[in-house]
Amino acid sequence: MSIDKVALLAGVSKATVSRVLNAHPGVKADTRQKVLDAIATSGYQPNLLARQLRTSQSHMLLVLISDITNPFCSRVVQGIEAEAEMHGYHILLCNSASQFKRESAYLTLLTGKVVDGVITMDAAAGLQSLIDIIGDAPWIQCCEFDPEIAASSVSIDHLDAARDTVHYLAGRGRKRIALVNGDMRYLYSQYREQGYREGVAQSGSDWTNVVYTEGITCEEGSRALQELLRLAEPPDAVFAVSDVLAVGVVHAALEAGLRVPEDLAVVGFDGIPFTSSLNPPLTTIEQPMYQLGARSVQLLLKKIRQPHAPVVREVLPWTRLERASS
């Protein structure tokens, strides 16, 4: 693949491709994204090393994200982008759906020195497969992380937050607390379920029920509650691992003629801003989404400047926002 073909694929001039490769400041953000997308999908390898730019920096950071339509992910990316721009960097966003083929295509930009480092938000279960591709390049694991990988991470204590949520619901008299969970490839799903089960056991109950969804959507949240309501003993509380799922749970509860929270208490997770405007407003575990993104950039830039900086596991605080749904 030549630079001419990259230009054709991106719908820009050869000169524009060259300016992007050399981190020229006079390129519009959307144009830069188109060129970098074309480079990634085509497999083009710009030989910057041969041009004696071994110690140069592109001031571009690659961000691998599992689902940009998820409001949680979008807010984290806002923090990443704002912090990067404060330090003179741009980001290249890859909406990977945690698919190795897409991840590996974009990660080739590291070997071509098109990007200076990478932030991954993909499912923890697939991160091991990226080690050989990323190699020694600067890498930060944001939100999702594999503790066996020697790359720093930024996250919250999902286990503690989930346990606390169950204790909170049990303390309000709820006896049958169900969990609406997502894809178990994700560390947050694993930890939140573990915390849920520990919390139920610690509260003295033996009633547990977990429904797994096929995606983080309101429709899947509604489907999960419909399944729970078919039980001989349906739940009197639902803890959903995502606010988006929790919104679907509330909708299905109201459709079924249940009162929230009198008949069914509902708690979500993430702290998405729109949840305060729901009827009833949603109780949720708020993650510091923007700060998770910003801190990831800070750690990545430190790694770029200090390649031998030690691996750190940063844990940011979470907050329970008590509202009318519980």
Tell me the C-alpha distance between 44 and 137, whole Å.
19
Annotate 12-48 with DSSP letters as a single string.
S-HHHHHHHHTT-TTS-HHHHHHHHHHHHHHT----T
CA distances from 218 to 8, 11, 176, 268, 279 (A): 40, 37, 22, 12, 15
Query: Is 114 strand, coil or helix?
Result: coil
129 and 201 housed in the same domain:
no
Give the pLDDT score at 52. 34
State residue 1's pLDDT score.
Answer: 55
Q: What pLDDT shows up at residue 113?
A: 73
Give me the phi and psi of 152, to 5 degrees please: -60, 155
pLDDT digits (tens), the chain, 326 positions: 567 777 888 888 878 877 776 656 677 878 877 887 777 777 666 554 344 344 467 888 999 998 888 999 999 999 999 999 999 999 988 888 778 888 888 888 777 778 899 999 988 888 998 998 899 999 999 999 999 999 999 999 999 999 999 999 999 999 999 999 999 999 999 999 999 999 999 999 999 999 999 999 999 999 999 999 999 999 999 999 999 999 999 999 999 999 999 999 999 999 999 999 999 999 999 999 999 999 999 999 999 999 999 999 999 999 999 999 99
- Domain with 184 in it: what CATH number? 3.40.50.2300
Angle formed at CA 321 by CA 316 and CA 323, multiple of 5 degrees: 170
Asked if residue 66 and residue 35 are part of one domain, the reply reads yes
Do 198 and 77 fall within a single domain?
Answer: no
Q: Which pLDDT score, from 0 to 100, does residue 223 have?
A: 98
Structure tokens at 252: 């299905």
Q: Same domain, yes or no, for 38 and 148? A: yes
176 and 74 within one domain: no
pLDDT at 35: 80
Q: How many domains is the chain built from?
A: 2
Q: Retrieve residue 306's tokens.
A: 């200090």
Domain membership of residue 89 (yes or no) is: yes
Q: Is 326 exposed, middle or buried (0-12, 13-18, 19+ CB in 10 A)?
A: buried
Q: What is the pLDDT of residue 51?
A: 42
